[in-house]
Structure 1
Amino acid sequence: MRTTTIIGSIMALAVSAHIEATDQYLTADAMVDIKTGKIVSSPALIISNGKIVRIGTQKNLPKPQGMDEVDLTGHTIMPGLMDMHVHLTGDATTPFFVEMGYSLPRQTVVAVKNAKTTLMAGYTTVRNVGAPGYSVIGVRDGINDGDIVGPRIYAAGPSLGITGGHCDNNFLAPELKVKSEGVADGVAAVRAKVRENIKYGANAIKLCATGGVFSKGTKVGIQQYTVDEIKAAVDEAHRRGLTVAAHAHGTEGIKAAIIGGVDSVEHASFLDAEAIELAKEYGTYLSMDIYNTEYTLTFGEKNGVPEENLNKERQVSKRQRDSFSRAVKAGAKMVFGSDAAIYPHGDNAKQLSRMVRYGMTPLQALQAATINSATLLGREGDLGLLEEGYMADIIAVRGNPLDDVSILENVAFVMKEGETYKTPEQ
């Protein structure tokens, strides 16, 4: 009976109906060329089997007779957005310790809800960097099989971390003997844990190289995993074609993660000049969540976040934004990573205006959330652009996002792989 109830709850969160992908002719007033920053007037796209097969203008590519039409008059189209750091099982509006008591089935239902919300906000691809019990892997598979609605998901499974570190659970009494399932100490254990995550379906890997803001008893600046442990995780993941994300706030942990070969450093709060140069030398992407501090410091106390964690957020906030500005100025490679769950899912795009405020051009911010993220995932050949042969992941807004990126906080149209999930009338 309980299993039936859980399945019913999950299925009820699916969109009741959406427009099935057939051959389609899509037009709009304008299109953003993400590579060049140019605005293409009166674009026309032909979509078949979930991909863009022809692209031109309404003048040189007229509508084929009998083809279904998607008319986005009054709108500007661009590729679907991508967020490289989300936690779909988390919900910032749920009281801190209430959420900690959620069962795995309850967390999975939350992830289903948040996946749909994220897609409707215009994010057609996300990387979920840590969730218990392979829950988001199950959500990903449900989306892929058409059972529920959500973005394309790269799911890491349980995050790897040291005993007592940021990716362990340190909130409960020692006699309860609670240990997070991603805990792995030493090179051999790290290798085994990566293999276990892959065994159960992970298509990305996440490890914790330093302390963090929302854990108990860890210091954000202190390194946790050694370079050798990080290298072991990277070796195992890369052998299987998976990217590795490293949570790292502190300077030495950031450097260890880069030298260890990770594909992206998450947060990267305390960068120095050497760390930035190392990131450039190794080609490591920085994924810096510079919006969520506003939510945490405004609503965290009300939501029951302990004072220890709020104090750590105050330590990180300005330093991380300063680091972001210096990294952008130095030309480091950047992707869009929001840490959605620390603030409400669906508000992901609020970070874009902060990325511009702290040093990026609007085009750079959009590239971070499209072609840069696609390249990080090894999908630069079919995601992140509106070009022939690419997936028909398309969003639309009223206005020009290169003039004001904040308009992406209100996306009017969402298509993923040729299927329409949101229209301007919704």
Structure 2
Amino acid sequence: MKRKLLLTIAGLALFQVGTFAQKTYIHAGKVVDVRNNSMLQERTILVEDDKIISITSGYHSGGEEDKVINLTDYTVMPGLMDMHVHMESETGPSQYIERFTNNEADIAFNAAVYAERTLMAGFTTVRDLGGSGVNISLRNAINANKIKGPRIYTSGKSIAPTGGHADPTNGMKESLMGDPGPEVGVINGESDARKAVRHQVKRGADLIKITATGGVLSVARDGSAPQFQQDEINAVIQTAKDFGIHVAAHAHGDEGMQRAVEGGIHSIEHGTMMTEKTMEMMKENGTWYVATITAGMSVAEYAKIPGYYHPAVKAKAEAIGPQIQGTFEKAYKKGVKVAFGTDAGVFPHGENYREFIYMTEVGMPNLEAIQSATLRAAELLGEEDKMGVLEEGMLADIIAVEGDPEQDIAVMEKVVFVMKGGEVFKNGKE
């Protein structure tokens, strides 16, 4: 009996030694080198498990047990990264009434659809900047391979003062307003600020988002005025720093941006009325700028549709929306650090590629725009050692598009291949 057991163990050991993980050889006609903003020709990308093993010149393949993916007619690049999305919702004239009719389960099922659509558009990683908290469960479900979607870094529920842009009871009658507090991201004073951050961390947030000024799509009174006192912003940022996480600031008005930058904010979102003084402050402090031009362009167009927005929202959309592209142009040319973000959900998920068009229209070179959605986005996340470039040891987040984006940025709409973490989710050739 003992001899049979030993033989069995030996046989298993031989079997394990002789078993090899399948490798995938991707033959890429063109490859975007986002570190150097250049285009490489005829490369083989070797993938094993969830990592890139090597990238070599020419086309190579392995043994019969290995897989070859032929992308010789396409342009290959790292998976795209959108640093400002809202996965729980999507624009529509009924969006405001849905606050009262949708249950968490409704939000979750909708979010699953939006997540898959985002991934299929070539965005393998996103930063979700504010929802109900369902976005945390969405992230977990994707990580557990229960549903298809991008890798999500989420802020959970945004933090605002009472009556601010992210106060969930704005626009309700008094009997429904109540007095929401830090548990739902509504604060007044330093103590509330610290509690709100800690509560989001407890719920599982990867980062924190504040609404440093009013916004466009809430029925709060003003879209540009600052909404936090300096001590409140400082308390949020310091508490988040103690947990080792970043803070992003929604901001349209300049004074709110300056308070956020002074407090040590990691990124400014939208930045509509940003002045040169604020740009200089951001450069000095290394603050990131995520412009979301697509959101501005979209809300300005939707505001023209009768009844699409609440009257208070319509006025703000018409005034603020058209300005963002011009602000981006000034900030980019001033040398402010830029990462790609769209505010998807304010417009239909899956149309994130539009941001590339708006960025390049005002002077950003095509490959640099792609760099902002890959390497630069990874740097914003603090994950540049894991993703954002096609190099040995990086996560195998790889996409391919028809055409040459260096010559025509509009081809970013035509994503034919999506691999996330070594798993193929889309292959237009099959």
Q: TM-score, normalised by structure 2?
A: 0.91
- Secondary structure at the residue paired with 2:186? coil
What's the CA shift for 1:34? Answer: 0.7
Q: Distance in 1 between matches of 2:306 and 2:344?
A: 18
Q: Distance in 1 between matches of 2:177 and 2:319?
A: 31
What's the CA shift for 1:99? Answer: 2.6
- The answer to whether the 8 Å contact 1:96/1:305 transfers is no
1:208 aligns with 2:211: yes
Judging changes above 3 Å, is the alpha-carbon distance between structure 1 residues 179 and 145 closer, same or farther for their aligned structure 2 residues? Answer: farther
- The answer to whether the 8 Å contact 1:96/1:304 transfers is no
What's the CA shift for 1:22? Answer: 4.3
| 1:64 alignment partner, one of 50, 56, 62 | 62
Task: State the match for 1:286 in structure 2.
Answer: 289
Task: State the match for 1:14 in structure 2.
Answer: none
Q: Which moved more, 1:290-299 or 1:394-403?
A: 290-299
- Secondary structure at the residue paired with 2:317? helix
Q: How do 1:304-343 residues align onto structure 2 when only pairs under 5 Å count?
A: 304-343=308-347
CA offsets per residue over residues 76-131 of structure 1, 9 Å max, x none?
Answer: 10001101110011111462333322222211111111111000000000000011
Q: How do 1:8-407 residues align onto structure 2 when only pairs under 5 Å count?
A: 22-58=22-58, 62-66=60-64, 67-93=66-92, 95-101=94-100, 102-132=102-132, 134-168=133-167, 169-178=169-178, 181-300=184-303, 301=305, 304-407=308-411
Q: Distance in 2 between matches of 1:338 and 1:178?
A: 33
Task: State the match for 1:4 in structure 2.
Answer: none
What's the CA shift for 1:179? Answer: 5.4
Identity of aligned residues (%): 37
Task: State the match for 1:16 in structure 2.
Answer: none
Task: State the match for 1:7 in structure 2.
Answer: none
Q: Distance in 2 between matches of 1:56 and 1:303?
A: 56
Q: Distance in 2 between matches of 1:245 and 1:84?
A: 10
Q: What amino acid does structure 2 have at the position aligned with 1:306?
A: H
- Secondary structure at the residue paired with 2:351? coil
Q: Which runs of no fewer than 5 residues in structure 2 stay unpaired?
A: 1-20
What's the CA shift for 1:291? Answer: 1.6
- Secondary structure at the residue paired with 1:114? helix
What's the CA shift for 1:306? Answer: 1.2
Q: Distance in 1 between matches of 2:191 and 2:281?
A: 27
Task: State the match for 1:9 in structure 2.
Answer: none
Q: Distance in 2 between matches of 1:302 and 1:113?
A: 28
- The answer to whether the 8 Å contact 2:219/2:310 transfers is no
Judging changes above 3 Å, is the alpha-carbon distance between structure 1 residues 336 and 210 closer, same or farther for their aligned structure 2 residues? Answer: same
CA offsets per residue over residues 252-310 of structure 1, 9 Å max, x none?
Answer: 00111111111101110001110000010000001111122333233343563112212
- Secondary structure at the residue paired with 2:96? helix
Q: Distance in 1 between matches of 2:427 and 2:307?
A: 34
Q: Which moved more, 1:313-322 or 1:354-363?
A: 313-322
Q: Distance in 1 between matches of 2:86 and 2:293?
A: 16
What's the CA shift for 1:183? Answer: 0.5
Q: What amino acid does structure 2 have at the position aligned with 1:267?
A: H
Q: Distance in 2 between matches of 1:375 and 1:293?
A: 25
What's the CA shift for 1:219? Answer: 1.2
Judging changes above 3 Å, is the alpha-carbon distance between structure 1 residues 195 and 37 closer, same or farther for their aligned structure 2 residues? Answer: same
- The answer to whether the 8 Å contact 2:325/2:358 transfers is no
Q: Distance in 1 between matches of 2:244 and 2:307?
A: 39
Q: Which runs of no fewer than 5 residues in structure 1 stay unpaired?
A: 1-20
Q: Distance in 2 between matches of 1:85 and 1:148?
A: 21
Q: Distance in 1 between matches of 2:222 and 2:97?
A: 24
What's the CA shift for 1:318? Answer: 3.2
Root mean square deviation, CA, Å: 1.5
What's the CA shift for 1:178? Answer: 4.5
Q: What amino acid does structure 1 have at the position aligned with 2:412?
A: L
CA offsets per residue over residues 119-158 of structure 1, 9 Å max, x none?
Answer: 00000000000111x2011010011011111000001111
Judging changes above 3 Å, is the alpha-carbon distance between structure 1 residues 198 and 130 closer, same or farther for their aligned structure 2 residues? Answer: same
